[in-house]
A and B are shown apart, each in its own frame.
Chain A
Amino acid sequence: MNIQQYIESGIIETYVLGLASPSESAEFEQLCAQYPELVAARTKFEEGLEKHALANAEQLSTGVKVKVLEAIEDTASAGAGERVSLNPPKIVTMQNESKKGSSGWLRFVAAASVVLLIGLAWFSYQFYSQNSELQRSNTALQEKLNSTQGTLDKIVQEQSIVKDPNTTVVNMVGTKVAPRSSANVYWDSTNSNVYLVVKNMPKLPSDKQYQLWALIDGEKQPKDLGVFDAKDDKIILKMKDTKKAQAFAITIEKTGGSPSPTLDSMQALGKTLQSQ
């Protein structure tokens, strides 16, 4: 750029008198930073303009000065007021405002939160206790159902055995030792299955168990058909199989059973049709 040519172009006057476009001004200011001679030329024109303006200044009455300075003071006090509340105090005011404004809001939100929290906690507790209660009752029901189902299954099984035409029912009655004892043996001689239903058998000490025996003709020893407890009352028990039996007998033996019956303690005896 030929700076001298630029200086002579009239841009200085355009700029100084406020007639330059924004882009012209930007360019001029940028070039001023680069070219001291441009600044010097600008300053020269500015000084000429100022000198001329001062030389042609209008006389003003002192009343105008008072008015103008009063207006400035009004602006200053208004501005000071503004500044008082704009700078630290205004920040304080704004904080107060925001505190005041949001403190109500915050308080509301806080209160609402607490209420909500309590409500939520209450509901949670309600749901939790309701849930665990339901779980408990559900488990209880399940257990009950299981035992009922088990009982039912056994009854159904018992019924099916009882109703089976091949099944022989042997009614065992109490001996003199235990006159009130009674039990039924369901015996299917075709497949040798033996089932026992305890009707009434007295409770035994924990080291004793009842043992069922099959008395078979021609055999020296009664055949062991397994042990059972008195608490198996009314429930059909699957005992060991036997093809033959003239009679069934129940004795009291030590827990786990004995190889041969203690006949002294025979509690019940039932003869089969094979015995007749």
Chain B
Amino acid sequence: MGIPKIYNTEQELVLALKQRENQAFSTLYDNYAGALYSIIKQIITDNNELASDVLQEVFINIYRKIDTYDQTKGRLFTWMLNIARNASIDMLRSKSYQNSQKNQELPDNVYKGTANQSTQLNVDNIGLKKVLEKLKPEHRILMELAYFKGFTHEEIAEMMSIPLGTVKTRIRNALLQLREYLQ
């Protein structure tokens, strides 16, 4: 591979990625794979093999979709983070994942289990979930469902039996708290 090329700015890296330079993807992996894998594992909590498959899929998606990345809409990491989150949630909802989760067959149980699970798994939580721990429990559950399970506000309102407006307000508040923690 020769001497690893250095990308001084994100812009340079993006340009190289759009040129489909192998070195650029290697650099991208070195810099971000761990962070992205962390997000994936916060969604695919119980299957490292599938989480690893998702990571691979995320990089393939980045390779395929890099031309659609628009720097004016946000940072490269934000873009990749959303790809990772979407791919993880897709996996979560896929048949192969559902089949590996045979214990949770009834949707209601899944929802309840999700809430319980998130509390239980907090012990091992990492990344954003670590931040979520600091939120009030009612905020944390909503963030868990919205961000890590990919449910819409409407779905959350239905499954939690709380008004849609309340869901929105709580998630907004949770997000604002999140911002404070991240600063």
Mark A residues whose CB is within 8 Å of B: 8-10, 12-14, 16-19, 29, 32-33, 42-54, 56-60, 64-65, 67-69, 71-73, 75-76, 79
Contacts and interface: CB of A to CB of B under 8 A. Distances in A.
Given A54-B35, A65-B33, A71-B56, A13 B73 contact: no
Contact of B26 (A18, A54, A69): A69
Contacts of A47: 75
Contact of B34 (A45, A58, A68, A72): A58
A114 B30 CA distance: 68
B136 interface: no
A57 B35 contact: yes
A13 B77 contact: no
The 7 closest A-B pairs by CB, nearest first: A57-B34, A48-B182, A13-B175, A10-B172, A53-B35, A56-B127, A18-B82
A78 B164 CA distance: 46
Interface stretch (B36-44, B92-100, B102-110, B112-120): B36-44
Interface residues of B, number: 49
B140 interface: no
B130 interface: yes
A48 B179 contact: yes
Contacts of A75: 60, 63-64
Interface string B107-144: 00000000000000000001110110000000000000
Contacts of B147: 17, 19
B128 A52 contact: yes
A12 B179 CA distance: 9
B82 A58 contact: no
Contacts of A79: 63-64
Interface in B12-41: 20, 22, 25-26, 29-39, 41
Contacts of A19: 146-147, 171, 175
Contact of B128 (A33, A53, A67, A71): A53
B81 A53 contact: yes
Nearest to A75: B60
Contact of B182 (A10, A49, A76): A49
Given A13-B175, A58-B37, A64-B56, 15 more contacts: A13-B178, A14-B175, A16-B78, A17-B81, A17-B175, A32-B73, A45-B179, A46-B75, A49-B77, A53-B39, A53-B81, A56-B35, A58-B38, A64-B52, A72-B63
A51 to B, nearest CB: 8
A13 B179 contact: yes
Contact of B77 (A42, A53, A65): A53
Contact of A58 (B41, B85, B86, B176): B41
B126 A29 contact: no
A270 B72 CA distance: 131
B8 to A, nearest CB: 17
B83 to A, nearest CB: 9
Contacts of B55: 60, 64, 68
A65 B27 CA distance: 11
Nearest to B175: A13
Contacts of B81: 17-18, 49-50, 53
Nearest to A49: B182
B173 interface: yes
A52 B56 contact: no
Nearest to B152: A21
In the complex, which of the residues B86, B126, B182 has the most CB atoms of chain A within 10 Å of its own CB atom? B182
A52 B20 CA distance: 28
A9 B182 contact: no
Nearest to B64: A75
A76 B78 contact: no
